[in-house]
Amino acid sequence: MKTIKYKSKLPLKINIGKIKPFFNICKVSGKKEECNIEVEYIPNDTLIELESYREKFTKDFNLYIEELAELIFEMIWNSTSPKYLKVIIFLEEESLTPWSVTIEKWENK
């Protein structure tokens, strides 16, 4: 994932809302599950470049939803080193369990 340098000294909280739904192939049933993601972060000096971020979701994943949340969280955390990051992955079909996973973390001070 590409990043952009954040040069302003103003505090900034960024919310990346839902993107075009992407698919995860359930490891138990083998069926495609429609998923989406929401991201909220406070950058240090690096921002997510949105086009390359969206490109990550043009392929199907084949992970448990918990693994998918961890993968996306680590990808963003490692590439941007934010002050704070929250990632929510959720299944569009709310009757599926679990239907969402949230991971959030503040930087170590």
Q: Which residues pair with 47 in a beta bridge?
A: 4
Q: Is the bond preceding residue 98 a cis peptide, omega within 30 degrees? A: yes
Collapse the DSSP code of 107 into the 3-class scheme (helix H, G, I; strand E, B; otherwise coil) and give the result: coil
Spans of the chain below 70 pLDDT: 94, 96-98, 109
What the block records as the tokens of 34 is 């429609």
Among 22, 12, 19, CA closest to 91:
22
Please state the domain count of the chain: 1
pLDDT of residue 65: 86
pLDDT of residue 97: 64
pLDDT of residue 4: 93
Specify the CATH number for the domain of residue 10: 3.30.1130.10
Residue 83, domain extent:
3-106
Instruction: List, for residues 55-71, the tens digit of each pLDDT value.
Output: 999 888 999 889 999 99
Contact 46, 6 (CB under 8 A): yes
Place of tokens 């929401």: 38
Q: Name the pTM for this structure.
A: 0.88
Helix or strand (DSSP H, E) at 33:
strand 32-42
Instruction: List, for residues 22-33, the tens digit of each pLDDT value.
Output: 999 988 888 889
Q: Phi and psi of 24, rounded to 5°?
A: -120, 135
pLDDT of residue 103: 97
